Amino acid sequence: METLERDLKNMREYFKSGKTKEESWRESQLKGLRRFLMERQGDIFKALMQDLGKHQVESFRDEIGTLVKSLNLALKCLKDWMSSKKAQLPSIALLSSAQIVSEPLGLVLIISSWNLPFGLSLEPLIGAIAAGNTAVLKPSELSPTCSSLLASGLLTYLDNKAIKVIEGGPEESEKLLQQRWDKIFFTGSARVGRIVMSAAVKHLTPVTLELGGKCPAVLDSLSSSWDLEVAVKRIIVGKYGTCSGQARIAIDYVIVERSNCSKVVELMKMWIKKMFGDNPKHSKSIARIVNKQHLFRLKNLLTDKKVQKSVVCGGSVDEENLFVEPTILVNPPLDATIMTDEVFGPLLPIITVEKIEDSIEFISCRPKPLALYVFTKNQTLQKRMISETSSGSVVFNDAILQYAADSLPFGGVGESGFGMYHGKFSFDTFSHQKAIVRRSFFTDFWYRYPPWKPHKFQLLEVSYNLDYLGLVLAVLGLKRPSKRHLFP
């Protein structure tokens, strides 16, 4: 941290040298990152177990596997992403050509969160490298083993003149935010997102904010028992099986029809038991709460007097082992903190409505979530959910799946953030799309120059309108009865 300003100056110089713009450099760094994930896989598993009690299968699914897949895609598509793209020009620009060139932004800052310590740090870094930037990564201090593995790992596998990891918490983060950056990519809470945005204002730095919010799941009264059971299993894993609900795209609460509620609760209880055993505290398949502060935050949500009688399953908290039991609550009051704040843990409120269509109003009058999950085969309901609600993504009949799709933009809207990444969207997020136009000297139309006269207006009008015959007639001083006018 003491040498921060000098280090950043050197990184800017390195960027200016053009090294990071070379395709071979980008490729070598992406391969370095992939080697880090493969060769240090065992250490990554251990670090995730140490900081979050995450099982290897979950760690591979959400972090290593997803990242290697993203790296393979970036390596495969790098040449194409870097290549300039032809663009059309209007007829007024006769004898011209145009291109869009993606250029790197320069020196970028990535601040990440603790719940997917590798995924949320390296997924944006892949985009920053592929786009040819120099980058500083600041992982979260709340997953310290993962943070220090990232710092030592990236030091060994990547070009340290261009990529650095700076460890620390809010203090270090604030120092970083005082510097000038060409882009800040932030993953975390809306509270800190606001701090990041106000720091970015000083240098008009572009920002991507990956925030959270309450992601609802709507469960329709599915007529087939197979479908209902599959839906319930997917909800259970989309909540408790995703870092024990400590994920911004984990299901926050479920909406069901009142008449269906008790059946759903019974099925949920059955599947919690099947997935995590009679005593989930001994299960290795459910992650632990990241620290005592978050554990007490969750405990407070549960011990809220207004909420206690809503608990129908689970509810125990083991402070020593940082464990909160998978818990279901039915109809906690809507003004209780569990229903106003993001839960970010293994507590699942179920809210009942008379008709499943009522869920649309429930969702649309609350802050826009990062993800909306709807379990239904009803095509009309699906269409209404898409058109009458707003969220970062909508998934029908599953949860979390969108995170693994490189072909889809991942990002929020409204309170859940702005900007997007994953796949080519990551490359674009860290690039400037530069417009290039090349014009020939061969033709030069006199009517584009002042002094302005009425017939020059006519000539301009026909040339904007792609009316070549009109243009010829206008040049000859003849007026053509025009069918196609710019201002009809």
Contact residues toward ligand NAD (CB under 6 A) are 111-115, 120, 138, 140-141, 169-170, 173-174, 177, 187-189, 192, 195, 210-212, 248, 342, 344, 370, 412, 417
By C-beta, is 26 or 214 nearer to ligand NAD? 214
CB 41 within 8 Å of CB 67:
no
CB of 367 to ligand NAD, least distance (A): 12
CB of 393 to ligand NAD, least distance (A): 11
Laid out side by side, the sheet with 163-165 consists of 163-165, 134-138, 107-111, 183-187, 207-210, 417-418
CB 149 within 8 Å of CB 64:
no
- Name the residue number minimizing CB distance to ligand NAD: 212
Distance, CA of 126 to CA of 135 (rounded, Å): 10
- List C-alpha distances in Å: 41 to 121, 258, 260, 313: 16, 46, 44, 36
By C-beta, is 91 or 340 nearer to ligand NAD? 340
CB of 187 to ligand NAD, least distance (A): 5
Distance, CA of 123 to CA of 179 (rounded, Å): 23
By C-beta, is 120 or 459 nearer to ligand NAD? 120
CB of 195 to ligand NAD, least distance (A): 5
By C-beta, is 192 or 351 nearer to ligand NAD? 192
Distance, CA of 326 to CA of 269 (rounded, Å): 9
By C-beta, is 78 or 209 nearer to ligand NAD? 209
Comparing C-alpha atoms, which of 106, 27, 117, 118 is closest to residue 74?
Answer: 27
By C-beta, is 169 or 333 nearer to ligand NAD? 169
CB 412 within 8 Å of CB 368:
yes
Residues 6 or more apart in contact with residue 205 via CB below 8 angstroms? 180, 181, 182, 183, 184
CB of 391 to ligand NAD, least distance (A): 12
CB 51 within 8 Å of CB 143:
yes
CB of 335 to ligand NAD, least distance (A): 20
By C-beta, is 264 or 363 nearer to ligand NAD? 363
Comparing C-alpha atoms, which of 176, 154, 185 is closest to residue 36?
Answer: 154
CB of 172 to ligand NAD, least distance (A): 8
